[in-house]
Amino acid sequence: MNDKDIAIVGMSCIFPGAKDLDAYWQNILNKTCSIKEAPEKRIDPVYFNSASEDIDRLYCSKGGFIDEYVDFDPVEFGLVPNSVKGTEPEQLLALKMTVRALEDAGVFEKNISLEKSGIIIGKAGFGGVETTKVHETIYSAESLVRLLKTLAPSLSNDEIYRIKKNFQQQTGHFGKQNVMGTVPNIVASLVANRLNLNGPAYVVDAACASSIIAIDNAVRELQSHRCDLMVAGAIHLGQTPAFWTVFSLLGAFSRSQVIRPFDKKADGVLPGEGCGFVVLSRLKDAINNDQRIYAVIKGSGLSSDGSAASLMSPAWQGQLKSIVNAWESSGLSYEQIGYIEAHGTATVIGDKTEAETLQKAFGTNNKLPFAGIGSVKSMIGHTMPAAGIAGVIKAAKAVYHGILPPTLNCDEPLEALIKSRFRPVKEAVEWAQTGLPTIAGVNAFGFGGSNSHIILEKFNHNSKPRKLFGFLEQAGENDQVLLLARKSKKELIDAIQGHSPEIGDGNYRIAIFNPTQKRKELAIRVIHKEIPWRNKQDIWYTHAPLLSNSQKVAFIFPGLDGPGLASIKSGNYNRLADYFGFKTLSGFNNPDGIKLIFDLDESCRLLDSALKMLGVEPDVVAGHSVGEWTACTAVGLVNEKITQIINNRVLKKKYEKPDAVFLAINSNISDLDSLLVQFPEIYLANDNCTNQFVVCGIRSNILSLQEKLNKMQVISNLLPFETGYHTPFSKKFEPEVSYTVNNIVQFEEPQYPLWSSITAKPYPKNPNDIKQLHIDFITKPVLFRELTKNLYNEGVRVFVQIGAGSVNGFIADTLKDKDISLVSAASNKREALSQLKRVLAALFVEGKPINTSFLGLAGSSRDKKYSTKKGLNTMLDLSLPFINYNKVFDQQIIEKIAGATNAVAAPDAVLNLYKRNLNDISFAQKEILQVLKQQNSTDGKPINLNELPLERTNMCTEQEISFELFPALKDHVPFRIRSSQTTLGHEGDACVPLTMFLELFMDVFSRHYPFLVISKIINIRVLQFLWVTKKLTVSITGKWIGSESICFEIENYASATLVTGEKNGQPPAPSLHIEKNLPVQVSVQDVYDKGYMFHGRAYQGIKQIEAYSSDMLTTSVEELQGKGSLLDTIGQTIGVQSHLSGRNIRAFPVAIKEIIFYGNPFDKNGLFQCTSRFIRDDDDFIYSNAELVKEGKTWCRVNDWQVRKSEIDAKIWQMMTNAEDYYISELFMGNVTLLDSNIYQRANTWFTLKNIYLSQAENSIYNSFSTSKQKEWLIGRIAAKDSVRKLILGKYGEKIHPACINIINDTSGKPIIQTEQNNHEGISVSIAHKNGLALASSSFDTETGVDIEEIKARDTGFTDLVLSEREKTLINPFIDKDEWLTRIWAAKEAFGKSTGKGLAGSPLNYEVSSIDGNLVTIGKTSVLTTRHNSYIIGWTC
Amino acid sequence: MKEQTEIFKKVKELITEVIGAEFIEEYTVEMESTLTGDLEMESIEIVELSEKIKKHYGGAVSFSEWMAKLSLEQLINLSIKDIVTYIEGCLQLK
């Protein structure tokens, strides 16, 4: 061993076809050629033209590319995710690959110091993609301004500025956050910065010789002992059209598009890209450190051709000099060469010169055995500055494994090579079999005559297992933290005192933020006590980690619990959102009355996502009060923002604010039992913890309670919100919650176990139970104390409070003597990001593997225990896309330019360009480039930079919806009254079809952006029907989300996201085919006439039923006058298909996942084939896919057209089609009808019934009621109408549609029947309600009365109130007294109603004269009393 | 003044009971120390403290009523001095 020997101890690389070192070596051994056609996004095909002599046309289109391997996770390297965009990918990749090489060298495991280390990177100064984008942003944009001023002088400065801004939107992300991202030397400095290397860090550029020069310099740093460890390497990603033209113009590229180094047919090089890094240390140190040694660098040499040749052609004299330099300094003899990894570019002159050089250096002596030669360029192309490192890594692996590696495409070696000692290696050969020394030389000869050579020799290696990961302290950060884990108290204290930086392992664990000397002393005092110390003075310590076994971590979402809310500061959270690349929060702009709830919900979900992204996941999740809704969203039980949906609905209803206020009482609830019973109107809202609970009551009651508490010295505070949630005060909100859980949100399998604060138990599994729980949630108290105890018993030891609030305080109180750790993800003391670091530190101390790189600690991501699956890994973009001018110019501007260019008789380029083919982007691109080339220079005046419009503007349009504007809406009446008889002017209400909403959205969009193509509509949802009875105006809002998508909404009714972009390419062949055709029993006439579909003429788009199988249906359809009628036929086809296959549904779509357009969505002429296919169904929905096909080409494809299942039993189906013939109520006796509100659960079913039964006038009465009253009123009306209909049928044999009966109440509240038939006059009707049951009776001529009452035990007071002394004697003492008391009551009530006066003050006013069986006689009237379950029905028959 | 020192001593003693003697020595408990800031007391610990103050001083010091009237801001910045001053005032009235 020589003192100067340098070892290669670690390597990493990415080359075409190889994502890492192993793949690279395997590809070499397998003789894999990874050269392919240039991907379009890298080099646009427009540039390829082998016939053209133009400087911007290329004759070669093949090369090596690495796009698929360039992923990068900023979090792993402690970078702000936001800074990735706009940073040259080579900077990021160099950082990542350096770390990989250091990992490979075991630097982190062995905890080898990086203090005296440096990095040298070979890299071409040719601008990379981001640098080019900066150039476009700064230079081309200004060129465009000048072009426009020349072409279209009529454009205002504002317009030109807007165009420029649009242009710059597409030229990258150049800005303050990444301004260093294009500075060339930063590629090395960033590595030094992130890894805290203190040695030299710089870039060298010597074209193809760069790599070996970098290694040569690194070797010197080590030999001089200036550094102890060096990283050297090279990177080349700049495969841009401009870079390629250099080689194309030189004629250096292969015309045959095959790279054949040293072959007689070789005709040029093919380009490649990639990067490689090697870790170097002095051989002695490498042996001492027990590192794997790939190879020993015996010597290296550098030289220049001087004036021996032209800049572009090589000379053997210069090349030879570099080889001689290397070998002379190596102490080896030339005979010892075993293999040459040649530069071997496959250019005629290059190969010939190199072969001559080799002859001169190593002789032509045929007495020595042939040595091997190869060039990896034959497999990956010429990776330019990284060519040398590709060769060095190949050669190092070759000597390390003792294998002579194969080369490709050298079938007939050049004469000059034959004369040398070297022969191409065609198959991998065991080095030992050749008898050659395991010594390799690598050549790298660059443009301009820069030459380099390096010699590698095999070392007898041995390797040892890896042990620990390392640690680097990051200076200068506010949140600097010391994390340490050791096996004993002494070791831990030593580690702190001895500044031992390694994180280590063991049960003695500490996290010290801001570890100054003074604070370290405090920490040592804490450790000495050996008592867990958590979250005090920003120090966490324990020697008994809580999570060392299978104990659990809970995420607890706080509700509105008071003081903590002050810490919700939007800036703080928005900085957090920026850091992780999340959307900034909308709720913070929301000035609503329940802003607090929204703010809390949004901020908590943000923290939750951030933690998950950092790899922290809960074992259990729960929420306190409204925090439970947030928890539901966070675990994925619901996909929507349920908190906002429910609260918005409650707000919209404009309920009177309950006068109820909350009072937080700091006492144990049981201590105050005797006080609280004095306040029956005050309810428990939250049982928070041992020493705090919250009650709710009307203000005056609460104030008097507080007065008493003050006297008892019990602290209590009024809380600043008045929802009344969790108490009977909010019972009126129940319908909104019920509607939400039944109709709006969908429940899905939660991803984490969720517990409820209402039941203190895990969430139920059954969807109906989940829905019920949400409804109960509104009126039932929060049992947080019990929940806390149950979670502890479940094994939860670490509680992470996800948001601002006091729940950790509650938990601390309830679990006062238990060993637990509490940490909050939000704090009013510090930035949200900083606080998340505390969460990670707390988890570390309790023994959980964490992502330490987020804490600024390197080395952690190599901790195998830490899962990186939720990192921020993203693919880097190596491409340089063209500007999409459709997004630069809007319609108005184009017209202006067109006018201007005509006026100045300019070449018609721009004008015709846009008129001819507005969507053809690449065409536009070319034309614009042409014009750019011809531009004249003109003076541009400075432009006012302020007050200029944004490029992507959101829109808000008022849209009238009326029969005048859309007369065809009269043909979209879902509950059409098909009666031939006269009606009350009522044929049913029209409603806006979903597809009409979509077309309205598209119309608004295309008015604003006529030249943007709508490629898809996604996330389509209908929230409720929009009924049209008179002229309405709705607001259509369009909000850009990102640059491609715009979310349209008609608030409360419908929303959909339009995705813009290029046309979806060639339409795919239709995918839905019916293989096995079944006979169809239904004709198109039936579809519309027999009521399968309700649609009138303008929406009867189905023309023919073509084919049917059990799950599919094909129809032919066309667009009619009805707005949205073409797309609506998809829904109709699905509806008919469902009907044919026995699923009776009314096909009202509630959501559609996506509609992808292949044809122009505005071109709806002609006949289409519509095929639907049933995909799946669940408890609530049916999902179908569909396609519209025109002339054999797919026009659009629909995925997941989602239809809500109505609970359509046969009865409702019949009602819908022929309401005259059927009844919903139970026909009881005589004309008495009974309807139980529990027969149908779904709100949707009741909605259907409402539409069938109510007249127009009744509808408006219905709508004026609160939701809770609506149903009760409706069942009464249905029962009454059924009774009346039966009465009329009995008397006249007439069937009457229920909506043709109108029931009004006279001033005394007595119901009056109205129909349009004269012979119906004089019908009397009586309606009674009890516990969700409605009872009705009707009669001609005589007054009828009906009543229903529950049989219950009554006290004597009640008896005395109802029965006279004489009546008491009528009741047989041996029968059920309660029942008979109820019978008499019901009889009296029914009688009272029949008189129109009710009970007239007292039941005693009407005396029962006799009881005969079930017949109770009052005066002259007999009242039949019938027992029905636990009720008595009384009816004056 | 002597009285104030004594009240401070007492309050400090009660705070020590709440925070725990094993932890208190790592904090500097001074007249100016704030409960939630310097002493890192949780709101529930402050309630515990008020219980103790109530027990010690009895009815003369209606501590809870006083606390109930404090604004959020005042609660967050509550210092030992505030408490001592309040108790002192109550005792003088007596």
pLDDT in tens, B53-79: 888 887 777 777 787 777 767 777 889
Residue A219, pLDDT > 90, answer yes
Q: What angle do CA A1307, A1313, A1315 make, to 5 degrees?
A: 135
CA distance A528 to chain B (A): 11
pLDDT per residue as tens digits for the range A503-547: 888 999 999 988 888 888 889 988 988 889 988 888 999 999 999
> A463: pLDDT confidence band, cut at 50, 70 and 90?
very low
Superfamily the domain A6-125+184-457 falls into: Thiolase/Chalcone synthase (3.40.47.10)
> A299: pLDDT confidence band, cut at 50, 70 and 90?
very high
In chain A, what residues touch B23 (CB-CB under 8 Å)? 531, 533, 536
Nearest CB among B40, B44, B50 relative to A689 is that of: B44
DSSP annotation of A852 reads: G
CA distance B92 to chain A (A): 19
Contact yes or no for A1033/A958 (Cβ under 8 A): yes
Backbone phi, then psi, for A1195, in 5-degree steps? -90, -40
The CATH classification of domain A1213-1436, taken from the options 3.40.50.970, 1.10.540.10, 3.30.1490.20, 3.90.470.20 = 3.90.470.20
Report the alpha-carbon distance of residue A1250 to residue A1245 in Å, rounded.
9
CA distance B78 to chain A (A): 14
pLDDT at A876: 84
Cβ pairs bridging A and B (under 8 Å):
61
Q: Please give the residue of chain A at the shortest CA–CA distance from B44.
A: A809
3-state class of A177 per DSSP?
Answer: helix
pLDDT at A470: 25
3-state class of A1375 per DSSP?
Answer: coil
pLDDT at A595: 66
In chain B, what residues touch A715 (CB-CB under 8 Å)? 47, 50, 63-64, 67-68
Mean residue pLDDT across chain A: 83
Residue A776, pLDDT > 60, answer yes
Residue A788, pLDDT > 90, answer yes
Contact yes or no for A17/A408 (Cβ under 8 A): no
3-state class of A1314 per DSSP?
Answer: strand
Tell me which of A170-179, A298-307, A672-681, A815-824 is least confident. Answer: A170-179
Contact yes or no for A1112/A1165 (Cβ under 8 A): no
pLDDT per residue as tens digits for the range A16-36: 999 999 999 999 999 999 999
* Domain A955-1061 classification at class level: alpha beta
Average pLDDT over residues A386-395: 97
CA distance B63 to chain A (A): 7
In chain A, what residues touch B63 (CB-CB under 8 Å)? 713, 715
> A1373: pLDDT confidence band, cut at 50, 70 and 90?
low
Residue A760, pLDDT > 80, answer yes
Backbone phi, then psi, for A1392, in 5-degree steps? -55, -40
Average pLDDT over residues A1211-1216: 74
Nearest CA-CA partner of B66 in A1364, A1423, A714: A714
In chain A, what residues touch B42 (CB-CB under 8 Å)? 808-809, 812
pLDDT at A502: 80
Q: Which of A177-186, A296-305, A458-467, A1022-1031 has the highest mean pLDDT?
A: A296-305
In chain B, what residues touch A533 (CB-CB under 8 Å)? 23
pLDDT at A478: 56
Task: Give how far Cα A128 sits from Cα of A134, A181, A239, A243, B24, Å.
Answer: 10, 11, 8, 9, 60
Q: Where in chain A is the domain with CATH 3.30.70.250?
A: 659-722
Q: Please give the residue of chain B at the shortest CA–CA distance from A666.
A: B47
Which residues of chain B approach chain A closer than 8 Å at the C-beta?
22-23, 26-27, 40, 42-44, 47-48, 50, 54, 59, 62-65, 67-68, 72, 75-76
Tell me which of A266-275, A466-475, A616-625, B19-28 is least confident. Answer: A466-475
Element (H, E) at A1323: strand A1323-1330
Contact yes or no for A330/A355 (Cβ under 8 A): no
pLDDT at A363: 87
CA distance B38 to chain A (A): 9
pLDDT at A471: 25
Q: Can you give the length of chain B in residues? A: 94
Other C-beta atoms closer than 10 Å to the C-beta of A1264 total 9
pLDDT per residue as tens digits for the range A1156-1182: 999 889 889 899 999 999 998 877 788
Task: Give how far Cα A498 sits from Cα of A488, A495, A522, Å.
Answer: 15, 5, 15
> Long-range pairs for A1173-1181 at CB < 8 Å and ≥24 separation?
A1173/A1072, A1173/A1111, A1173/A1112, A1174/A1111, A1174/A1112, A1174/A1137, A1174/A1138, A1174/A1141, A1175/A1200, A1177/A1143, A1177/A1205, A1179/A767, A1179/A1205, A1180/A746, A1180/A767, A1180/A1204, A1180/A1205, A1181/A746, A1181/A1150, A1181/A1205
Task: Give how far Cα A986 sits from Cα of A798, A1218, A1300, A1301, Å.
Answer: 64, 16, 8, 11
* B26–A710 C-beta distance less than 8 A: no
pLDDT at A183: 87
Tell me which of A249-258, A832-841, A864-873, A1236-1245 is least confident. Answer: A864-873
pLDDT at A512: 92
In chain B, what residues touch A814 (CB-CB under 8 Å)? none
* B63–A706 C-beta distance less than 8 A: no
Q: Which two tokens stand for residue A130?
A: 């981001």
pLDDT at A500: 67
pLDDT at A1249: 86
Nearest CB among A536, A713, A806 relative to B40 is that of: A536
Q: Please give the residue of chain B at the shortest CA–CA distance from A716.
A: B68
Q: Select the residue from A527, A540, A666 to test the B interface by mutation, using most B Cβ atoms within 10 A.
A: A666
Tell me which of A321-330, A583-592, A928-937, A987-996 is least confident. Answer: A928-937
CA distance B16 to chain A (A): 15
Contacting residues for A1023 by C-beta, under 8 A, at least 6 apart = A744, A1052, A1053, A1054, A1055
Report the alpha-carbon distance of residue A1104 to residue A1169 in Å, rounded.
9
* A715–B64 C-beta distance less than 8 A: yes
Residue A795, pLDDT > 70, answer yes
Q: Please give the residue of chain B at the shortest CA–CA distance from A689.
A: B44
pLDDT at A211: 96
Report the alpha-carbon distance of residue A1254 to residue A1029 in Å, rounded.
14
What are the sequence ranges of the domains in chain B? 2-93
Q: Which two tokens stand for residue A930?
A: 């042409």
DSSP annotation of A1180 reads: S
3-state class of A1211 per DSSP?
Answer: helix
Q: What angle do CA A1160, A1162, A1164 make, to 5 degrees?
A: 90
> A1270: pLDDT confidence band, cut at 50, 70 and 90?
confident
- Laid out side by side, the sheet with A6-14 consists of A201-204, A117-123, A229-236, A274-282, A6-14, A295-304, A450-457, A439-446, A339-341, A371-374, A422-424
* A525–B65 C-beta distance less than 8 A: no
Q: Where are the alpha helices (DSSP H) in A210-271?
A: 210-223, 241-250
CA distance B84 to chain A (A): 18
Looking only at the bridges linking them, the beta strands covering A339-341 and A371-374 are parallel
Contacting residues for B6 by C-beta, under 8 A, at least 6 apart = none
Nearest CA-CA partner of A92 in A199, A187, A227, A196: A187
pLDDT at A474: 29
Nearest CB among B22, B26, B54 relative to A522 is that of: B26
pLDDT per residue as tens digits for the range A475-502: 223 578 889 999 999 999 988 887 666 8
Element (H, E) at A189: helix A186-195
pLDDT at A469: 25
pLDDT per residue as tens digits for the range A1301-1330: 889 888 777 888 888 777 778 889 999 988
CATH architecture of A1084-1206: Roll (3.10)
Nearest CB among A525, A537, A666 relative to B47 is that of: A666
Q: What angle do CA A1115, A1118, A1121 make, to 5 degrees?
A: 140
Nearest CA-CA partner of A743 in A99, A1207, A115, A1180: A1180
pLDDT at A900: 55
Nearest CA-CA partner of A131 in A57, A78, A185: A185
Which residue is it, tokens 């005709």? A267
Q: Please give the residue of chain B at the shortest CA–CA distance from A718.
A: B68
Nearest CB among A713, A717, A812 relative to B44 is that of: A812
pLDDT per residue as tens digits for the range A1282-1298: 999 999 988 888 888 88
CATH architecture of A659-722: 2-Layer Sandwich (3.30)
Residue A1387, pLDDT > 80, answer yes
The proportion of chain A whose per-residue pLDDT surpasses 90, expressed as a percent, equals: 37
Average pLDDT over residues A1365-1393: 83
Q: Where in chain A is the domain with CATH 3.10.129.10?
A: 955-1061
> A1047: pLDDT confidence band, cut at 50, 70 and 90?
very high
Contact yes or no for B33/B39 (Cβ under 8 A): yes
pLDDT at A204: 95
> A907: pLDDT confidence band, cut at 50, 70 and 90?
very low
* B22–A715 C-beta distance less than 8 A: no
> What is the per-residue burial (b if ≥16 Cβ within 10 Å, else e) of A966-997?
bebbbbbbbbbbebeeebbebbbbbbbbbbbb
Q: Please give the residue of chain B at the shortest CA–CA distance from A717.
A: B68
Average pLDDT over residues A280-296: 92
pLDDT at A1089: 79
Return the bridge partners of A1034, or none: A959
Q: Where in chain A is the domain with CATH 3.90.470.20?
A: 1213-1436
Superfamily the domain A552-656+730-857 falls into: Malonyl-Coenzyme A Acyl Carrier Protein, domain 2 (3.40.366.10)
Contact yes or no for A807/A558 (Cβ under 8 A): yes
Which residues of chain A approach chain B closer than 8 Å at the C-beta?
522, 525-526, 529, 531, 533, 535-537, 563, 566, 666, 689, 691-692, 706, 709-710, 713-717, 806, 808-810, 812-813, 828
* B64–A714 C-beta distance less than 8 A: yes
* A713–B54 C-beta distance less than 8 A: yes
**CA-atom Rg of chain A in angstroms:** 41
pLDDT per residue as tens digits for the range A1095-1121: 888 999 999 999 998 889 999 999 999
Report the alpha-carbon distance of residue A1112 to residue A1131 in Å, rounded.
13
> What is the per-residue burial (b if ≥16 Cβ within 10 Å, else e) of A746-762?
bbeebebbbbbbbbbee
Residue A1061, pLDDT > 80, answer no
Q: Please give the residue of chain A at the shortest CA–CA distance from B28.
A: A537
Helices A210-223 & A387-401, crossing angle to 10 degrees?
A: 60
Residue A199, pLDDT > 80, answer yes
Nearest CA-CA partner of A1252 in A1227, A1203, A1285: A1285
pLDDT at A937: 31
Residue A240, pLDDT > 50, answer yes
CA distance B28 to chain A (A): 11
Residue A1213, pLDDT > 80, answer no
SS3 string, A1005-1042, reads HHHHCCCCEEEEEEEEEECCCCEECCCEEEEEEEEEEC
What's the topology of domain B2-93? 1.10.1200
CA distance A636 to chain B (A): 32
Residue B89, pLDDT > 90, answer no
Q: Where in chain A is the domain with CATH 3.40.366.10?
A: 552-656+730-857
Which residue is it, tokens 């305080």? A809
